[in-house]
Structures are given as structure tokens and as C-alpha cells.
Amino acid sequence: MLPPARESGTRSGRGRRLIGMQEGRLAVSRTEDPGIALPALAYWLLGLNAILAFWLAYNLTRPLGASFADWIGRPHNTGGLGLGTGPVSLGLTILIAGFVGSLTVTRKDVQGD
């Protein structure tokens, strides 16, 4: 079971809700925390290496995606939507295959075309 969301203070005095489950709902950050956007900003504005930017973004967003997938797949009695891990995995696989197929057809990811 996911731990309950908890409040944590910051130096500016504003509280931040950590990702987790609270009262059967997914709790996400309630402050304007730019942390997830930092790799993209560093890539566009500072010229950060694309591979490093990708892996930083992956590591920063993975907990959010895992919490979301857990919330969708977990049973109702543990605060989830109760869809099960199989349908969630199948749905995400179809979504990823759709994105890859779209890039294959449109070639928007190919530089120099």
C-alpha cells in the first residue's frame, strides 16, 4: 500500500504535498514546484546534453508515473480505481506503441529532414 501523503515545510514557509495516496485520491504537489521542468529548461536554455536531460527528466517523473499507475490499478479498498495491473499494463503498452508508431510515420523526431 502506498504511504499517505504528508506535508513538509520549505524554507519559504510554504508546504508541499509529497506524492502518495490520501483519502483514496492521488496527492500531488500543491505548490508551483518547477523541479520536473528543470531538465527541459536546462536543455533549451543552457544547452544541456540531450541524453543527460532525458535521463534527468526520466528520474524526476518516474515516481509520479508509478504512483499514477498504482492508483489506477490498486483495488478500491486500498484507495485505487480497481482496474488491475493487467489492464493498466496493457493500456500503457498500447499508448507507448501508439506514440512510437506516430513518430515512425511522421518522422518528427528525425533531425535534418
> How many CA atoms are closer than 13 Å to the CA of 73, on its beta-carbon side?
17
Does the residue 23 lie in any domain? yes
Does the residue 99 lie in any domain? no
Nearest to 66 by CA among 58, 75, 77, 76: 58
Does the residue 75 lie in any domain? yes
Identity of the highest mean pLDDT range in 32-36, 67-71, 82-86: 82-86
Rounded mean pLDDT, 76-98: 92
> Going by C-beta distance under 8 Å and a sequence separation of 6 or more, which residues neighbour residue 75?
82
Does the residue 1 lie in any domain? no
Looking at the structure of the chain, the number of domains it has is: 1
Does the residue 73 lie in any domain? yes
Domain that holds residue 12: 7-82
Predicted TM-score of the model (pTM): 0.53
Percentage of the chain beyond pLDDT 90 is 37
- Longest CA–CA span in the chain (Å) reads 52
